Amino acid sequence: MKVLHERVAGIDVHKDMVKVAIRSPGEKPWTRKTEIVEFRTFYGVLQHMAAELRRRGVTHVVMEASGVYTEPVCYALAEQDFEQIAVINPAHARALKDPAGLFGQAVRVKSSRARWLDLVRSRGWPVQWASIRSPR
């Protein structure tokens, strides 16, 4: 399946911790690598997370809407220059069917939510996006 975005990040937001799956080109041609990184939810740490994503060349970020916990993450990301920051409805992400049949339900359950969101964003699968604009 064609990759639409070379470097993307999927973020799974929790009360005390944020998991980030960063997907980028692998060392060999036609391969991809995924790295999972955890951050605390203090605003200074979230700003560092956003700067780290930009340093790694991430252009598109996606996360599930998880109430008030999502807002500080969105604001920290909005301070950086990403092409798109998308917040999606968790029900839509869970109900998403794999159009190519490459990944089954069992694979989604075993892998982290951040990794699944990362895959959704990099492949450009149809999900209802609610893009976040800068708070300024």
Residue type, 111: S
Residue 37 DSSP SS3: strand
- Which residue would you say has higher pLDDT here, 124 or 4? 4
Contact 103, 34 (CB under 8 A): no
Residue type, 106: A
Note if the pTM is more than 0.85. no
- Which residue would you say has higher pLDDT here, 101 or 87? 87
Element (H, E) at 71: helix 70-78
3-state helix, strand, coil in the chain (%, to 5): 35, 25, 40
Residue 113 DSSP SS3: helix
Question: pLDDT by residue (tens digit) across 69-94?
Answer: 888 999 999 999 888 888 887 777 66
